[in-house]
């Protein structure tokens, strides 16, 4: 069913491109989104980046995007159509587009691809990512201070490294304040389903968590938290509008500067495959204002943020044990990026079985 819908949508898209092809002199920079560009979270952050790109290089480029592209085989068709329609540089903005991006890239060696949050590269496929976990470590510390019960609810999407990093970092942050801190993890198995995300939030709150964090894309969990009168953290975009008295902070993705930098390199003919993984210090990740918390907690969060930016604090620094109690990182040892990018185990203290 989805396939048929998509085929129709894609056909319409191709017709649209055909009309525009005649006017094409500017370089075409294209984006593939997993959700809707106004989801209030992940995809919206990418679209704000796209708009920044369009504004910055308006003379030389035009941008195009496909929204609501399902992960999996359908993504291949979407990416292929963009590649065929004359896009020079294509950003695929979800982890689940990884295999599709690599596969299509092999077919179109002259088109450049950039895949967000994955780990498979090729001569014409670069990967880019953001150290979201740095923000989640700060969130964890805030949770450690703010939760009276010492239990946070964590709404997760899919068991991919990026999400596992987030869960681990959040717990490490929280335990650096309260060594007894616990999290309850619920896997929604979706990035985008307001109803299901809200159900997960309700389930967690009913089971006694008094602070909520999410790694799914809509503001529904924030809204439930607001209704039930507990505090929560936003994801990907500043979600303060959904919970003016609820949001403590949010991890805000700021993709614009990266998109501009890479597109400029592409225009200059200097684009090369790369694996970019920046964090708070580079501004690809920012923290929304620290709100709804006492001043001392705010000061602590700001101090931690400063330490992470200066490189003094790396969230994944030993001693850290794996969930089963075996040693992962010895005292003072920092995790290597390679391990983090493929992270598929929990640290000690996470009370959940990681789906494999």
Partner 1 sequence: MTIIEAILLTVITASTPLVLAALGELVTERAGVLNLGVEGMMIMGAVCAFVATQLTGSPYVGILAGILSGALFSLLFGFLTLTLVANQVATGLALTILGLGLSGMIGESFVGVSGIKLQPIVFPLLSDVPYIGPLLFKQDIIFYLSIAVVIGVNWFLFKSRAGLRLRSVGDSHASAHALGINVIRTRYLAVMFGGACAGLAGAQLSLVYTPQWVENMSAGRGWIALALVVFASWRPWRLVAGGYLFGAVSISQLHAQAFGIGIPSQFLSALPYLATIVVLILISHNRRMTLINMPASLGKPFVPDR
Helix (H, G, I), strand (E, B) or coil at 284: coil
Binding of partner 1 by 71 (CB under 8 A): no
* Closest separation in Å from C-beta 207 to partner 1: 5
194 binds partner 1 (CB under 8 A): yes
Do residues 142 and 174 make contact, with C-beta atoms less than 8 angstroms apart?
A: no
Instruction: Tell me the H-state helices in the chain.
Output: 2-21, 42-56, 73-84, 98-107, 132-146, 161-177, 194-206, 220-228, 256-267, 295-310, 337-341
**How would you label 277-314 residue by residue, b for 16+ Cβ within 10 Å and e otherwise?**
bebbeeebbebbebbbbeeebbebbeebbeebeeeebe
Q: What one-character-per-residue DSSP string does 161-181 give?
A: HHHHHHHHHHHHHHHHH-TT-
170 binds partner 1 (CB under 8 A): no
Reduced 3-state DSSP string for 60-101:
CEEEEEECCCCCCHHHHHHHHHHHHCCCCEEEECCHHHHHHH
Give least dist CB 274 to partner 1, A: 33
Cβ 153 vs Cβ 205: under 8 Å = yes
Binding test (CB under 8 A) with partner 1, winner from 142, 242, 250, 308: 242
Shortest distance in whole angstroms from residue 239 CB to partner 1: 9
Q: Does 344 bind partner 1 (CB under 8 A)?
A: no
Instruction: Kindly give, in sequence order, each residue whose CB lies less than 8 Å from that of residue 289, ignoring residues fewer than 6 positions away.
Output: 240, 249
Report yes or no: 100 and 66 within 8 Å, Cβ to Cβ: no
Q: Which stretch binds partner 1 (CB under 8 A): 32-40, 55-63, 104-112, 142-150?
A: 32-40
- Candidates 83, 87, 220, 343; binder of partner 1 (CB under 8 A) is 220
Name the residue nearer to partner 1 (CB basis): 206 or 272: 206
Nearer to partner 1, 113 or 192 (CB): 192
- Of 80 and 193, CB closest to partner 1: 193
| Interaction between residue 14 and partner 1 (CB under 8 A) | no
d(CA 328, CA 347): 8
* For partner 1, the closer CB: 163 or 343: 163
Q: Which is nearer to partner 1, 33 or 316 (CB)?
A: 33
Cβ-based nearer residue to partner 1, 35 or 161? 35
Residue 164 is a binding residue for partner 1 (CB under 8 A):
no
Distance CA 307, CA 173 (A): 13
Q: Which is nearer to partner 1, 123 or 229 (CB)?
A: 229
Q: Shortest Cβ distance from residue 147 to partner 1 (Å)?
A: 15
Closer by beta carbon to partner 1, 65 or else 271:
65
Q: Which residues contact 124 (CB under 8 A, 6 or more apart)?
A: 105, 108, 109, 110, 111, 112, 113, 273
With binding defined as CB under 8 A, does residue 227 bind partner 1?
yes
39 touches partner 1 by CB under 8 A: yes
189 sits near partner 1 (criterion: CB under 8 A) = yes
285 three-class SS: strand
| Residues in contact with partner 1 by the rule CB under 8 A | 1, 4-5, 8-9, 35-36, 38-40, 68, 153, 159, 184-190, 192-200, 202-204, 206-207, 209, 218-220, 223, 227, 241-242, 351-353, 355-356
């Amino acid at each position: 069913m989805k396939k048929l819908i998509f085929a129709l949508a894609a056909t319409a898209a191709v017709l649209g491109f055909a009309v525009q092809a005649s006017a094409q002199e500017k370089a075409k920079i294209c984006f593939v989104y997993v959700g809707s560009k106004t989801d209030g979270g992940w995809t919206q952050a990418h679209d704000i980046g796209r708009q920044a790109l369009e504004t910055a290089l308006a003379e030389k480029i035009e941008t195009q995007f496909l929204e609501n592209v399902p992960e999996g085989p359908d993504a291949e068709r979407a990416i292929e159509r963009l590649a065929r329609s004359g896009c020079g540089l294509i950003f695929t903005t979800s982890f689940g587009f990884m295999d599709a991006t690599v596969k299509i890239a092999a077919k179109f060696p002259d088109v450049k691809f950039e895949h967000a949050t994955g780990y498979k590269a090729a001569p014409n496929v670069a990967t880019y990512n953001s150290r979201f976990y740095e923000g989640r470590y700060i969130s964890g510390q805030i949770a450690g201070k703010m939760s009276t019960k010492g239990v946070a609810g964590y709404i997760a999407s899919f068991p991919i490294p990026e999400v596992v990093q987030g869960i681990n970092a959040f717990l490490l942050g929280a335990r650096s304040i309260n060594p007894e801190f616990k999290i309850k993890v619920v896997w929604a198995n979706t990035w985008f389903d307001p109803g299901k995300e809200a159900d997960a939030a309700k389930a967690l709150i009913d089971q006694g968590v008094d602070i909520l964090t999410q790694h799914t894309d809509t503001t529904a969990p924030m809204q439930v938290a607001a209704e039930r009168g507990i505090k929560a953290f936003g994801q990907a975009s500043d979600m303060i509008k959904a919970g003016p008295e609820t949001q403590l902070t949010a991890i805000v993705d700021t993709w614009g500067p990266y998109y501009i930098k890479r597109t400029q390199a592409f225009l200059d003919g200097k684009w090369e495959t790369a694996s970019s993984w920046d964090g708070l210090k580079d501004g690809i990740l920012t923290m929304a204002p620290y709100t709804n918390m006492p001043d001392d907690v705010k000061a602590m969060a700001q101090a931690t943020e400063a330490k992470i930016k200066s490189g003094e604090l790396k969230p994944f620094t030993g001693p850290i044990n794996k969930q089963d109690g075996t040693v992962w990182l010895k005292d003072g040892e920092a995790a290597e990026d390679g391990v983090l990018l493929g992270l598929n185990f929990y640290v000690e203290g996470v009370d959940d079985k990681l789906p494999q």
